[in-house]
Amino acid sequence: MNLFIFSNDLRTQDNKALYEASLDQDGLVALFIIDKEKNKDHGDSLAKLKLKLLGLEKIKDSLISLNISLKILYSEKISDEPRDILNFCRSNGIKKIFLNSEYPFNEKQRNKNLEEICLQHHISYREFNSQLIDPDNIKNNSGLPFKVFTPYSKKMRSLITPDILSETPAPIKQKNRILYQDEIPQFQDAYDQELNFSFDDFPLTESSAIQKLDDFIDSSIQNYKELRDIPSLSATSNLSSSFAIGLISSKQAINHVLGSLPDENGTGQFTWITEIIWREFYKYITYHFSHVSKGKCFNPKYDHILWREDEESFINWCEGKTGIPIIDAAMRQLNERKWMHNRLRMITAMFLSKNLLVDWRKGERYFMENLIDGDFCSNNGGWQWSASTGVDASPYFRIFNPITQSEKFDPDGKFIKNFVPELVECPSNEIHNPSKEIRSSLNYPEMIVDLKSSRLRAIDAFKSIK
Ligand SMILES: Cc1cc2nc3c(=O)[nH]c(=O)nc-3n(C[C@H](O)[C@H](O)[C@H](O)COP(=O)(O)OP(=O)(O)OC[C@H]3O[C@@H](n4cnc5c(N)ncnc54)[C@H](O)[C@@H]3O)c2cc1C
């Protein structure tokens, strides 16, 4: 009997490990691990955990039709997982394990330990690359990992051949009937928590994720380059939660785009594929530079920044009560919708790490605890980019002014008014930074920080690091 272990790959199509596990026709079990302690340590949001469980409920039917059993394994913590998996294998006559790679340190370590334990107990262990291209196979001319996005992206594009893009076939239907099948637990039973949230905007199955992608390609991708920064529009794909739990793969996404449109520089589809490559890049960085998974700055020099302890401002930021309309609207979008527009992620992250000079790791954690698409590599990469501590990061002296950003990307304040009801009656010419009088009449707070002096304070803090 073979075992496939789910990572962030909740799909049957283009799933290398699942396909390989199905080839023997020896009987196949797919294992989903519920590890509350790990989820707590990693700050996984309830929205993402519930999305995964709902997705699992849906994929179960596809697995049944392939005669693949689905089992749930409960582990206490990630360091226990290898032993728990071993025990599962022993009790179920499993001889071979198949899984797709994950790149954050804890997951890499778990898989390394699992491989060792398998070796000791004569169980075959096979791990498959889950990136477009194996991170070990993209290096610069000196044979070292890239640290700058543009040359990485150029190299990646030069390597994306039809061969690389060929998708793994669907798993082979198993000859033997399923012997056992676990019920998917209710969310509250699995995670001891409840969450009332509508998942209508987020696909639960691989086919609905592909459908959403195709709709985006038909309707919006050609305008993506021009409109992607406007948060009041639905001009981006909103597929990040599907990528995060693996309902679709990068390969599938690129194939669907290239099936309709050419990858020509300057087009919307070219820009969108570049975003998929950013996603690959942050996984690549996490793989090659494991210190980023250990709470360290990519650039070790910035481990010495003296961040401010300012819990009150941090809480105001979390709650969307900073007195800066675009920041408040963005944080409330996150809190209500469990998703935030990319431009706003950059603006809010930069505001916290620069104007408030609060440690970016606090913001990283808050995002992870709330985002439905929380992905360690992209989140860490995005935060370190904004905080200027990361790989190919924004230079520390180039600090977004949130008011200017608001004027540029939400000119009529439509997005702000959607999420900050106090400001619905605010005159348009004051929406980005209402006067004292308007603030007091609308019961909207003063700014919690002076933008000019806090900008200089941040530059000084970075400059002082030799
Ligand atoms: C501070 C910060 C934190 C972030 N945290 C996350 C996170 O936890 N999970 C996450 O998936 N993305 C994260 N991002 C990246 C980006 O904001 C989201 O992927 C994007 O907003 C999702 O919306 P979409 O699906 O409509 O994207 P689209 O614009 O349609 O892009 C398509 C896909 O490309 C990928 N992508 C797009 N932009 C980026 C990017 N800058 N970096 C990496 N991948 C990208 C995503 O998978 C996305 O679904 C973060 C960015 C910042 C600045």
Q: Is 360 an annotated catalytic residue?
A: yes
Hey, is 419 helix, strand or coil?
Answer: helix
With 0-12 CB in 10 A as exposed, 13-18 as middle and 19+ as buried, what is 90? Answer: exposed
pLDDT of residue 466: 78
Q: Are 155 and 146 a contacting pair, CB within 8 Å? A: yes
**pLDDT tens-digit profile of 296-311?**
999 999 999 999 999 9
Using the atom order of ligand 1, give the atom closest to the CA of residue 383.
Answer: 1
Written out in words, the top-level CATH class of the domain with range 300-463 is mainly alpha
In the predicted model, is pLDDT for residue 428 greater than 90?
yes
CA of 310 to the centre of ligand 1 (A): 28
CA-proximal residue: ligand 1, atom 47 (nearest): 240
Average per-residue pLDDT for the chain: 96
Mutate to test the pocket of ligand 1, among 8, 275, 292 (most ligand atoms within 8 A of CB): 275
Q: Are 144 and 116 a contacting pair, CB within 8 Å? A: no
**pLDDT tens-digit profile of 263-290?**
999 999 999 999 999 999 999 999 999 9
With 0-12 CB in 10 A as exposed, 13-18 as middle and 19+ as buried, what is 248? Answer: buried
CA-proximal residue: ligand 1, atom 37 (nearest): 275
Q: List residues bridging with 74 in a β-sheet.
A: 34
**Integer Cα distance of 171 and 166 in angstroms:** 15
Write the Ramachandran bin of 361: left for phi over 0, alpha for psi from -120 to 50, otherwise beta. alpha
DSSP assigned state of 332:
H
In percent, how much of the chain has pLDDT > 70? 100
Mutate to test the pocket of ligand 1, among 240, 337, 345 (most ligand atoms within 8 A of CB): 240
pLDDT of residue 177: 77
In the predicted model, is pLDDT for residue 48 greater than 80?
yes
pTM above the 0.95 mark? yes
pLDDT of residue 393: 87
Fold of 131-165+206-288: 1.25.40
Q: Is 342 an annotated catalytic residue?
A: yes
pLDDT of residue 130: 86
Residue 204 C-alpha from the chain's centroid: 16
pLDDT band at 415 (very low <50, low <70, confident <90, very high): very high
Backbone angles phi, psi at 442, to 5 degrees: -95, 5
pLDDT of residue 251: 97
Dihedral angle of Cα 269, 214, 276, 388, to the nearest 10 degrees: 90
| Residue 8: closest CA among 20, 37, 39, 29 | 39
With 0-12 CB in 10 A as exposed, 13-18 as middle and 19+ as buried, what is 172? Answer: middle
Domain boundaries along the sequence of the chain: 2-130, 131-165+206-288, 300-463
What is the mean predicted confidence (pLDDT) over 211-236? 98
DSSP H or E run through 463: helix 451-463
Catalytic residue among 129, 255, 307, 430: 307
**pLDDT tens-digit profile of 324-365?**
999 999 999 999 999 999 999 999 999 999 999 999 999 999
Q: Are 1 and 27 a contacting pair, CB within 8 Å? A: yes
Does the domain at 2-130 match CATH 3.65.10.10? Answer given as no
pLDDT of residue 250: 97
Dihedral angle of Cα 170, 174, 177, 179, to the nearest 10 degrees: -90
Q: Is 385 an annotated catalytic residue?
A: no
CA of 283 to the centre of ligand 1 (A): 13
Pocket residues: Cβ below 6 A from ligand 1: 228, 236-240, 243-244, 275-276, 278-279, 282, 342, 345-346, 349, 367, 371, 373-375, 378-379, 382-383, 386
pLDDT of residue 194: 93
Catalytic residue among 272, 317, 339, 360: 360
Q: Is 278 an annotated catalytic residue?
A: yes
| Residue 389: closest CA among 356, 351, 350, 355 | 350
In the predicted model, is pLDDT for residue 438 greater than 80?
yes
**Direct distance between the N- and C-terminal alpha carbons of the chain, in angstroms, rounded to an integer:** 58
**pLDDT tens-digit profile of 448-459?**
999 999 999 999
pLDDT of residue 258: 97
Using the atom order of ligand 1, give the atom closest to the CA of residue 374.
Answer: 8
What is the mean predicted confidence (pLDDT) over 363-392? 97
Residue-level length of the chain: 466
pLDDT of residue 121: 97
**Integer Cα distance of 367 and 47 in angstroms:** 12
Fold match between domain 2-130 and domain 131-165+206-288: no
pLDDT band at 392 (very low <50, low <70, confident <90, very high): confident
**Integer Cα distance of 354 and 396 in angstroms:** 8
